[in-house]
Structure formats: structure tokens, C-alpha cells
Amino acid sequence: MGLQVCSPPVTICRQRVAHFNRLSDPPECLLTNGSKVTLAPLIAAHVVPGDDVSFPLPNSSTATDEILVTKNSVASSGRHVYQAPIGYVTQPKKDKRDEFFVAAEVRPANLGISSIFLSCKSLREYFYRILEREGSNWQQTLYEVLQVPCTASPGEVTGPAMPPYFV
């Protein structure tokens, strides 16, 4: 019989943004309950007054980077911005539009979202900054972006200008 570890319940804060101060470093928002919350610049770029934010309140045994922003404007109705640490990611699969996606496990899943689906195109653009050219099917390869020959070894790709995590 296996040992099952129970984690303590997590308290979730769900509040509306009343005011946003982009001039502070890091950016800070004032919630309707009077609390001030600092946000990462990436998330702060997508938050405006009137949006709802949800995040687990940290306690002595838990810490999280998980935050969900629900857009409440008419133009952005039904839109969300979500940041969370991820664990296991599946192998790419094709969806019904013949586009590839992966499923990523959210760890820990304090807000009730246990996995998210990410398009492989958005992952490629995020990590490798390889964009499709407008009006054509041609794409730059990673070798072209790095300006190295396609026969380059990992050592050549990580030359002095490139950080070692490209190996």
C-alpha cells in the first residue's frame, strides 16, 4: 500500500482590480478589498482596472507563481491570462484543424486548472523566435536565426555569443 500525502487546503484570493500603478517597479495593483498586489511585468502588461485576479494566498508551507486574470471588458469578454509553473508536457499531437499542440501539467494546480493546451507554433515562436514570413509558407530555421550552417555541431551553435542552454 502506497503512502498518500495530503497537502493543506489553499486559500484562494479572487478580487477585482480597482487601480493599477504601472510606474512602480514591480508593477502594483490595488484590489477592491484594499490589498496591494505586485505582478510580474509579463502579467502586468495584460491587466487593467476592472479585471478579476485569482491567486492562491501563500502560507508557510506553500508558495506559488500561479495567477489567473479574467478580462471583464466587453472587447475582451471570455479572455483569460494565466501564469503557472508546469511539469510534464506530452508529445505533440494533431488537433482537428491539423495543427500540433501539447498538453502541459500545471504544478501545483491550486486554482483548479490541472493542465493547459499549448499550440506548438506558439511554443516555437516563444522559445526560438522563429516567425513565419507574411504571405508565404517559408519559415526561418533555427540555424538561419542563429546564422550558423545547418551542419553545425552543438558546440558551434553555442559559440561565445550564445548562452549554454542551447546545447
Q: Model confidence at 63, in pLDDT bands (50, 70, 90)?
A: low
- Please state the rounded mean pLDDT for residues 81-102: 92
- Please state the rounded mean pLDDT for residues 46-60: 86
Pick from 7-16, 36-45, 145-154: least confident: 145-154
Pick from 65-74, 140-149, 153-162: least confident: 153-162
The whole-angstrom separation of Cα 84 and Cα 107 is 7
Q: pTM for this structure?
A: 0.67
Which among 142, 140, 92, 149 has a CA at the least distance from the CA of 118?
A: 92
More confident residue, 31 or 142: 31
pLDDT of residue 34: 92
